[in-house]
Every structure is written in structure tokens, then in C-alpha cells.
């Protein structure tokens, strides 16, 4: 009888956002994105450092791995080739039909080759490709800790699927059943990336910048265009190829059409100034995205009857859309995992293999966890490579000391405990600042983060006092939801309110992050406001700092005033 796999390595590799997760007997040992260790943002390289750390944590070697779960199924790409050829029958898609068929076949072969490369590194393991959206679904649901939920996954592309609605159940042995799927070329993620690129930012990286810019524009200008470009249907939506030509998976084919350019604006070069037309285009894109996401959430309710919704996939990082779903009151509660994008599918792929192997052991260590990567506590620190930096050890009142520094206007990098999962800093690799300090947003953007001046900064707040400042009405532990704000927030902490009247907040409980809860409590005691600005410990174009060396480089090469690194206060 075939042995049930006990040591399962989940991988996201050879595409963007490489990562790895390790399950041993159903217990999640850890998860980390390769960029946090390699310093290469959105790296697609095999996650060698992540795998090495995970196996070291479990005191295992590559020979001990029973199964490797890969987050794509090669054969599923092949199914698109004949479908693509049928597009030749339509004048709207005819010119790309052959290139699309070839592109999907090429990716199928390439993905199969990648699974063979992985297999060579684990001699005793079987490599199991997992359907991409299933991996997303399992990550979103298992992380929620709920016993049942509707699951909505919206991304750019997973094999053929771009959007799925599923029913999920059993928190100890999580399972999902896809009830409805939308296939490419109808893709909300593809569309958002196309406009991001058109506006002069990096597709797959800077969609959040477009979301921020949208708050400064008027969506009415291009509202009719997007109503034609993205049509809602009874079961989802359709993308009009007259505006966004069919994807080919082959370079050299633009994602926007001449018609879109004629009716909006030419493609913007990153060095060109932003004008009103760029702001209005971003605003219309964001408005239509929100409308479609709310429409899909309503469809998920109809199909599942569940009162709870989990949302995954790259589009789930659009926090304003998530906020709109919550505001609509469709579900009693909405959950987004800390790593909703492709990196997080390493966890879901591993869970799929664990469940399919009929292991009697329940899943442990996945629900409501986000601090899953390496930590560097009690390690010696050598500042020789940074001669301008000096350190001193702090006593047991570290939280009080940090709160006092923040209350006096110091901007501090915080490096403590395990690396967070996902794209948001959640208090372990953060830059903290007082929202009460005049000009703090301008200073953070210009001299610390080196990014666009219109980019907002997210607040973190004591969970038990969140209702004083925010109207969301539920917990937001992973900074994945935009909330309306109260009059008290507008009066006392306007720095954390974006131009659209929202804030992407993180609620902090004592159980989730004891140290940050203590800092917020102490800051609130000093200022009357238990709210801090929290942004990721990095500068634009760099990944969140996963190692002490990365954090020290960030301090030395930015406008940070100081760095609190595992109880050491480091400053110039």
C-alpha cells in the first residue's frame, strides 16, 4: 500500500513571487517568500533559501521530503490551445488566435519541464502539480480558521481559470468544491495589469500605486468606456477584446488596443508627469473593478448560501474592493489571507496533497497565522559593514521606549520575531511613525520610502478601540481591507485618511502581536490616540526586509531615524 506522505513541501517557483511552505504530519512548519531572503523583489527563481530554511527548521534534508506540491498543473494549459484556435472564427480575436494557441502549448511544456527540475532535487519525493485556483482556495479558507465559507478567487491567470467561486468546509481537513469558473481571456487581473502598464508602472508590482492614484481622479470621464470594456453577466463578467486584446502568453503583443488609446490617452512613460487624464483613467478602472468584485461576491452568496466569504488571488490585494464588499453587507464577515497572491499558493498546494493523501492527521498551524518566516532573535550583530551606525541594548521596557520615541516624532524601523507572510508588513518588519506629526506623510514618501507623493500610509490600531476611528465593523488583522473613517479619525489623525476617505487598516490584538499591542497601548496612553502609521520596512523597488542585513541597509540608505532590531536600538 502506498504510504501517506508526511513531509510535504509546497512550492511557488519559476513564476513571480517564489515561495515555499512545509507541512510535516499536517503541521505547518513555516512559510517564506524567497525575496525576503534573496533581496530580489518578485523573484521567479527556485526558492532555494526558503527551502533550506524550512528543512533546517524541521531538522530534515531533501531526502526526507515525501511529496512536493507544485502550484500549477501543466496539462491544464494544453486544453486552451484548441479553444484558442476557435477564436479564429471571430473577427475580434482572429489576429491572435494562433499565437495564443502556441503560447498556451509552450507554457504547458515549460511547466512540465519545471516539475521535472524540481523532482531531481528531492530523490524520494513525488512531485504533484496542483490546480492553481484550488491552491488559492485552500490557502484562503484554511487560513481563515472557519469551518465553512464561500471562497472567491480572482487573479490574472491560473492555467485557464481567472475567477472561481467555491464552497469550502472542514477546518481540520480543508476541502473546496468549485461551483463556477470564468476562464481566460476574461480576466480582471489581466485588465488591471494592462492599465497599470499603460499608465507607466510595472505590471505585477505597482497595481497598488494605480489604486492610490484612483482616489485623485474622476471616474465619470471614462465610466462609459469601462462599462463597455468590462460587461457584467448573470454569472460573472466578460472582457471586450476591442479594448483589451486577447492574451497570448507570448511577448510582443500589447495588452491595450489602439481603440483604448484613442479614447483615453497614449501610453505614459514613467518619466512623464501625471496629468488629469491619467488620474481619471485610474479612477474609472478602480471603480469598475470594485463594481465587478461586489457583483462576484453576490454571485458567491447565491451559489453557496454561506454567510462568510474568503477572498484570494492577486486581485484580493485590492483593499478598496474588499472594503466595498464588506460595506455592501453581503456577508456577515469577509476574510483575506495574509498572502492572497501567488506566493501563498505554496501553502494551499501543500494542503491539497495532504488532504488528497487521506492523512488521518488534522491540519495544524495554518489558521489565523501570519508570522511564519525566519526569525533572528538572540543572534550576534556585527555593524562593521555599516560604520555610521551605532547600537545600544534596551531593557525590558522596550515597548514603552519605542512608544515614547514615536510620540516625539521619531520614524523607526522595526525588526522583530518571524517574517510576515504576504505583501503587508504587520508589525514585525515595519516602519512606524506617529500620525500626529505634522508633515509625516510627505516626509515618509520623500525621504524614507522614495515613492510617489500621493501614496497613502496605512494605520494600525488597537483592535478593541478600532470602532472609535474606523467604520469597517470587523477585524482586519492583515491590512487587506480599506475602511471608512469616523469623525474622530478625521479630526485627530487625518494623516492616515486617503483622498477617497478610507484607510487600509490593521487591527492588532494582544494574542496576534503582543509587542505591537503593548506599543499601541503605550502610545495611546501618551497621546490619547492608539493609532500608528505602519508601512513596510523597505524602500520602493525593494522587498520587505527579511534579514537583519537588509534592515540595516534600509536604515543606512534611507531617511529612517532609527531601527529597533530585536531589542537593539540602532541609529546614526
CA 128 and chain centroid, separation: 24
- Asked whether the CA dihedral 88, 92, 93, 94 is positive or negative, the reply is positive
Find all residues with CB under 8 Å of 515, minimum gap 6, and list them.
398, 399, 416, 417, 427
pLDDT of 4:
66
- Residue 71 · residue 345 · CB < 8 Å: yes
Find all residues with CB under 8 Å of 468, minimum gap 6, and list them.
486, 488, 489
pLDDT of 402:
97
As a whole number of angstroms, the distance between CA 279 and CA 199 comes to 9
C-alpha cell at 8: 510535504
Cis peptide before 185 (omega within 30 of 0): yes
C-alpha cell at 83: 479553444
C-alpha closest to that of 485 among 518, 524, 529? 529
As a whole number of angstroms, the distance between CA 396 and CA 541 comes to 35
C-alpha cell at 71: 502550484
- Which residue shows C-alpha cell 536604515? 555
- Asked whether the CA dihedral 484, 488, 493, 494 is positive or negative, the reply is positive
Conformational region of residue 409, where left means phi above 0, alpha means psi within -120 to 50, and beta covers everything else: left
pLDDT of 255:
95
As a whole number of angstroms, the distance between CA 431 and CA 534 comes to 6
**What average pLDDT values come out for the chain (572 residues) when binned by 10 residues?**
76 96 97 97 97 97 97 94 86 90 95 95 95 98 98 97 98 96 97 98 95 97 98 97 95 94 97 97 98 98 98 98 97 98 98 94 96 94 93 89 97 98 97 95 92 93 98 96 97 94 96 97 97 95 96 95 96 92
- Give me the helix-helix angle, 514-527 and 398-407, nearest 10°: 40
Amino acid at each position: 500500500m502506498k504510504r501517506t506522505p508526511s513531509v510535504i513541501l509546497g512550492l511557488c517557483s519559476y513564476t513571480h513571487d517564489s515561495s515555499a511552505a512545509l507541512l510535516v504530519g499536517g503541521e505547518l512548519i513555516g512559510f517564506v517568500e524567497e525575496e525576503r531572503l534573496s533581496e530580489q523583489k518578485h523573484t521567479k527563481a527556485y526558492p532555494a533559501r526558503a527551502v533550506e530554511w524550512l528543512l533546517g527548521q524541521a531538522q530534515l534534508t531533501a531526502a526526507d521530503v515525501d511529496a512536493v506540491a507544485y502550484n500549477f498543473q501543466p496539462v491544464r494549459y494544453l486544453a486552451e490551445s484548441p479553444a484558442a484556435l476557435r477564436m479564429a472564427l471571430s473577427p475580434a480575436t482572429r489576429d491572435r488566435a494562433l499565437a495564443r494557441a502556441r503560447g498556451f502549448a509552450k507554457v504547458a511544456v515549460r511547466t512540465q519541464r519545471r516539475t521535472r527540475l524540481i523532482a531531481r532535487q528531492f530523490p524520494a519525493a513525488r512531485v504533484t502539480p496542483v490546480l492553481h485556483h484550488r491552491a488559492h482556495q485552500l490557502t484562503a479558507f484554511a487560513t481563515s480558521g472557519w469551518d465553512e465559507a464561500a471562497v472567491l478567487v480572482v487573479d490574472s491567470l491560473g492555467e485557464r481559470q481567472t475567477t472561481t467561486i467555491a464552497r469550502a468546509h472542514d477546518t481540520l481537513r480543508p476541502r473546496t468544491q468549485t461551483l463556477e469558473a470564468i476562464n481566460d481571456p476574461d480576466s480582471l487581473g489581466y485588465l488591471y495589469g494592462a492599465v497599470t502598464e499603460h499608465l507607466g508602472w510595472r505590471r505585477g508590482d505597482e497595481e497598488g500605486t494605480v489604486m492610490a492614484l484612483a482616489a485623485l481622479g474622476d471616474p465619470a470621464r471614462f465610466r462609459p468606456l469601462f462599462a463597455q470594456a468590462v460587461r457584467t453577466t448573470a454569472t460573472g463578467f466578460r472582457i471586450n477584446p476591442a479594448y483589451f486584446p486577447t492574451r497570448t502568453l507570448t511577448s510582443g503583443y500589447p495588452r491595450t488596443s489602439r481603440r483604448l488609446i484613442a479614447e483615453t490617452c497614449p501610453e505614459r512613460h514613467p518619466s512623464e508627469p501625471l496629468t488629469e487624464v491619467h488620474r481619471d483613467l485610474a479612477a474609472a478602472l478602480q471603480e469598475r473593478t470594485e463594481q465587478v468584485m461586489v457583483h462576484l461576491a453576490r454571485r458567491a452568496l447565491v451559489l453557496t448560501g454561506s454567510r462568510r466569504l474568503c477572498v484570494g488571488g492577486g486581485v484580493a490585494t485590492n483593499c478598496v474592493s474588499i472594503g466595498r464588499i464588506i460595506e455592501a453587507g453581503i456577508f456577515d464577515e469577509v476574510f483575506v489571507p495574509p498572502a492572497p497572491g501567488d506566493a501563498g499558493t505554496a501553502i494551499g498546494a501543500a494542503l491539497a496533497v495532504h488532504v488528497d493523501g487521506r492523512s488521518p492527521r488534522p491540519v495544524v498551524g495554518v489558521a489565523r497565522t501570519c508570522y511564519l518566516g525566519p526569525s533572528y532573535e538572540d543572534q550576534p550583530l556585527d555593524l562593521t559593514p555599516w560604520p555610521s551606525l551605532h547600537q545600544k541594548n534596551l531593557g525590558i521596557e522596550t515597548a514603552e521606549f519605542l512608544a515614547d520615541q514615536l510620540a516625539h516624532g521619531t520614524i523607526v524601523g522595526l525588526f522583530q520575531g518571524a517574517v510576515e507572510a504576504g505583501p503587508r508588513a504587520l508589525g514585525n518588519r515595519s516602519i512606524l511613525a506617529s500620525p500626529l506629526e505634522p508633515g509625516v506623510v510627505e516626509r515618509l514618501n520623500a525621504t524614507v520610502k522614495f515613492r510617489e507623493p500621493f501614496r497613502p500610509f496605512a494605520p494600525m490600531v488597537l483592535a478593541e478601540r478600532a470602532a472609535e476611528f474606523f467604520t469597517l465593523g470587523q477585524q482586519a488583522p492583515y491590512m487587506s481591507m480599506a475602511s471608512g473613517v469616523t469623525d474622530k479619525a478625521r479630526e485627530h489623525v487625518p494623516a492616515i485618511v486617503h483622498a477617497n476617505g478610507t484607510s487600509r487598516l490593521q487591527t492588532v490584538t494582544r494574542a496576534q502581536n503582543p509587542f505591537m499591542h503593548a506599543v499601541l497601548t503605550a502610545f495611546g496612553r501618551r497621546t490619547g490616540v492608539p493609532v500608528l502609521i505602519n508601512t513596510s520596512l523597505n524602500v520602493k523597488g525593494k522587498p520587505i526586509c527579511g534579514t537583519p542585513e537588509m534592515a540595516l541597509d534600509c536604515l543606512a540608505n534611507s531617511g529612517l531615524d532609527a531601527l529597533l532590531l530585536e531589542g537593539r536600538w540602532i541609529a546614526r
